[in-house]
Structure 1
Amino acid sequence: MKVVDISQFDDSVVLYFDTENTSINAYTLASTLVSIADAAKAANSSLNAGHNVEIIVEAIAPGSFKAKIAAIYTESKNIFSSQLVAGVVIGLLSNYIYERTFAVDDSIRVEVHSDEVVIEKGDEKIIVPRNVYDATREAEKNPKFVESIDRAFQAVESDPKVRGIGFTGSMEDEKPEIILPREIIAAAAGEVREEEGVRVVPETADLQILKAILQRGKRKWEFMWRGIKISAPITSEAFYNEFFSHEITIAPGDSLEVKLEIKQVRDPETGIYANKSYEVTEVYDHHPRLRQVAIAEV
C-alpha cells in the first residue's frame, strides 16, 4: 500500500515534478508555483481573517525536479483578527490536489473519523488530519481557491515533459509514495475551451487600471497584471450598467477583481501554450486606489 500522510506537511512541503530529466521548463515551474501561491492566499483569506500568508520557495533540487515551498504568516492591522489556523494551509493545498485527482476514479473510498479522514483508491491511501480535511471543505467554497488549483493543473498538463507531480515532507525523500500522473491531472483540471492548438483559460485576476475606456464595445483597456502590462476589452454589460448609473467611479490606479479569459496558443515545437490575448468577461469588485488625505493642523 502506498501511503501519503498529510500531517507530515506542516508549514512546508516539497512539490515533486516527475520529469524526463533533472530540469523543468521555467514557464511550467513559475506558472505552477504562482497558481499554488494564489490558492494558498485564497484559502488563507477564508480561514485566517486578519493574517496574511506568503508562499516562498526555500530550495530547489533535481530528482526529477523538486521545489520546497513554505508558508510564512504575518499579522495584519486588523484588531478583529480571528485566531490563526496555523499549519493548515500547506496541508490543505496538498490534500485538495490529491482529493481532486483521486475523485476522477469512481472507486475512491472515504472513511471519516473523529481525528482523521482516510481516502483510498486501489493500493493508494491518503491520511488527512480531521482539522485539515474540515479546512479544505471551507477553502473549496472560495472560487478563487478552486480556480487557482485549476491553473496549477493546467500548467502541469500543458507541459508534455512533466509526467506527473507529488508531495513529500523532505527534500531528502527520493520521490513521493504517490505520484499523480499527468493524464489524471488533465482529467481533474477545470473546464478549458480548446480547439486546434488554441485554448481559452478562465482565471480570477486582480487588474490595476492604467487606461480606462469608458464606453461599451471591444476597445481595449490597459492594465497591470502580475507585474506585466496587458490590454483587454471589458465585455461585461453589468459592469457598464453600474458605471453609467453612477454606482461606481473609475480612475487610473484603481483595481478591478475580474474573470479574465486568457487566449493561449500552443507552440507546435515545444507543445507549450503561451498567452496571446485577454478579455474581461465579468467584473466582481472595484477597489479605488488608496489616496493620502492631508490632516489639518489644529
Structure 2
Amino acid sequence: MAVAKDQDPRVRNIHIRDTPKDEAEQVYVTGRVVTVLRLQQPCDPARTKMLGWEGRFEPIECVGNWVLLEPLQNLEPEDRFLLLVTLADGKELPFTVTSIGKKEWERPDQQVNVFLEPESRDALQAELKATRQREEELMESVYRHFREDTADHALAKILTTGAIQQTSFVERRKRIVKTDDGAELVVRIFAGKQKAAVVLTVTNRHPSKSWSLAEARLLTTRPGEDLRAPFLFGEAKPFALRTDRDEIAPGQSGTVAVVVDRSAFRTDDGFVNTLALEFYRQDGFLDTYVLLDRRLVRE
C-alpha cells in the first residue's frame, strides 16, 4: 500500500502570550467534523461568540474548559470567521476560524490546546509530547526516503514527467474514466522488461474541490475470483509510486505513476497471472482500478 498524502485531523498546541500580535491564532476546520478548543480555565458562554456563524456552523458550544465548533459544510478557502473566546476571569482570546489549506500544517484541527502560561506543567508536557511526535514523524520520513530510494521509484518519477521515451516501456492499453467526484482519469498501461507500469493522468473538473490520492493498493487475485474491485482477500504486493504534485486544484491536471516489478507476481505457490491495482482518492472512495496481466512483464 502506498499513501500519497495524510490529511487526518490532528491535535495541536497554541501558546498565547500577552505580547501584541498582528493576527489572531488560526483554527482550521472542515465540514461536519467537530473541532475542540481545550482551555486552561473555564470559558464564559455568554461572552464567547463568533461573528457570522449563522447558517454556516452549528451553534457554538462553550462548556467548562471546552469550546466546540462544527461547520455545516466545508468552508471556502477565502472564508474567515472571527471567534472571540472569553474566559471566566474576563480575558478575551481572539481566533480566526478558516478552512483547511494546502500546506502540511493546515490540516483540519481535531483538538487545539490553548495555553496562556507557556511555562506551566501542562504546557510543558504538551510541548514535550508534540516534540516527540514531530521527531517520530521525521524519523518515519527519513526511513521512507531510504526505503523509496530505488530504481523503480526513479522510473516512476520519469514517467510522471511524460518522458516515456527515456524508458523501455511500451504502451499496451489506454482508457478514460469519469468519476462521480468530477475527475477525468486517463489510465495508460505499459509493458516493459521485467516490469510493468501504469500512468494515471487526473484532470480535476470539480468547480471548487481539490483532488488528491489517498492511497494505492496492489493485490493478488485468486483463480475464479470475480475481477471487480474492491479486492478484499488478495495478498498485498510491493510497488513504486510517484506523483508530480500532492494535490490537483480545480481545472488542473496531475500525474500518478506506478512501476511493478516482475517479482510482485510471485507467491509461495508460484506465479499469479493477474494483479489488481486500486486507486483511492482523498475521501476514501475508490476512483478506479487496473488489472495487470503477467504477460506485461517481458523476460
Q: TM-score range by the shorter chain?
A: under 0.3
Higher helix share: 1
TM-score (norm 1): 0.25
Q: Is the radius of gyration larger for structure 1 or structure 2?
A: 2
TM-score (norm 2): 0.25
